[in-house]
Amino acid sequence: MNRLTQVDVVYEKLRGMVLEGTLSPGFDLNERAVAELVGTSRTPVREAVARLVDDGLAEREQRRTKVTAWDEESTGQLYEMRILLESEAARLAAMRRSPHATIRLKAALDTQRNLVNPSPAERRDSTYAFHNELWQACGNPFLLEANQKYGTQSLSIAPTSLRSDERWEASVAEHQELLTAVIEHRASDAAELMRGHLESAMHHL
């Protein structure tokens, strides 16, 4: 196994542990302790943790790096940013989406609909997958990158809003409305639907 692959493996393992809550908010990502935890040397841990910081899943406090702790204020600020960026992405997707992008969006929504008694993690991951396809469809690589960054940050929060069966079913229905607006090139409607979708998600946190 080469060093780059080690970094990727350690990063994915730590990312999963953060999103699942195994590494709780505020957890000290000490290199030596984390290396022992994942069974590797400190060098790939250092680079993997740096990637978590870039993702917003970890934050540096003086000389320590800790799993990001989301309070009410920072969560609200994150969703304000997501509403701005994703509403624009939805508007552009409705204007620019390709036939291939439409197929991928439909497939992502079908995946959600076909889940049977989905776990919070499955709900979270399938929701992110749908949003990511919509971001891809907007045709703007800078907007895509920004949405992926803030969307990733919200992954550690999203399971809370999606644990409710009622909210989960509403979220999937909202995705259908978004998809329809995108397919029909209703750009303004797509933007407003995305705004309402994210405001509802924030309300249910």
124 and 192, same structural domain? yes
The mean pLDDT of 17-46, rounded to a whole number, is 92
Residues 68 and 57: their CA atoms lie apart, in Å, by 5
Q: Which domain holds residue 90?
A: 72-203
Domain-ending residue, one of 18, 47, 67: 67
The mean pLDDT of 51-77, rounded to a whole number, is 93
Percent pLDDT > 70 in the chain is: 97
Domain-ending residue, one of 67, 97, 115: 67
78 and 63, same structural domain? no
Residues 197 and 205: their CA atoms lie apart, in Å, by 13
**Residue 117: what pLDDT?**
94
Contact 10, 29 (CB under 8 A): no
Long-range contacts from 167-176, C-beta under 8 angstroms, 24+ separation: 167/200, 167/201, 167/204, 168/118, 168/123, 170/200, 171/123, 171/127, 171/197, 171/200, 171/201, 172/109, 172/112, 172/113, 174/200, 175/109, 175/112, 175/127, 175/130, 176/109
100 and 180, same structural domain? yes
Location of structure tokens 């929504």: 109
What is the helix (H) or strand (E) element at residue 41, kind and residue range?
none
65 beta partners: 60
Q: What is the CATH number of the domain that holds 127?
A: 1.20.120.530
Mean pLDDT for the chain overall? 93
Query: Is the confidence at residue 157, as pLDDT, over 90?
Result: no
165 and 130, same structural domain? yes
122 and 24, same structural domain? no
- Label residue 156 exposed, middle or buried (CB < 10 Å: 0-12, 13-18, 19+): buried
136 and 190, same structural domain? yes
103 and 27, same structural domain? no
Query: 121 falls in which pLDDT band (50, 70, 90)?
Result: confident
Residues 104 and 36: their CA atoms lie apart, in Å, by 40
**Residue 156: what pLDDT?**
84
Query: Is the confidence at residue 114, as pLDDT, over 50?
Result: yes
108 and 21, same structural domain? no
Regarding pTM above 0.85, the answer is yes
The total domain count for the chain is 2
Query: Is the confidence at residue 89, as pLDDT, over 90?
Result: yes
Domain-ending residue, one of 67, 97, 123: 67
168 and 100, same structural domain? yes
More confident: 159 or 72: 72
Q: What is the CATH number of the domain that holds 23?
A: 1.10.10.10
Query: 55 falls in which pLDDT band (50, 70, 90)?
Result: very high
Query: 130 falls in which pLDDT band (50, 70, 90)?
Result: very high
160 and 139, same structural domain? yes
99 and 148, same structural domain? yes
Query: Is the confidence at residue 159, as pLDDT, over 70?
Result: no
87 and 56, same structural domain? no
| Residues 104-113 pLDDT 10s | 999 999 999 9
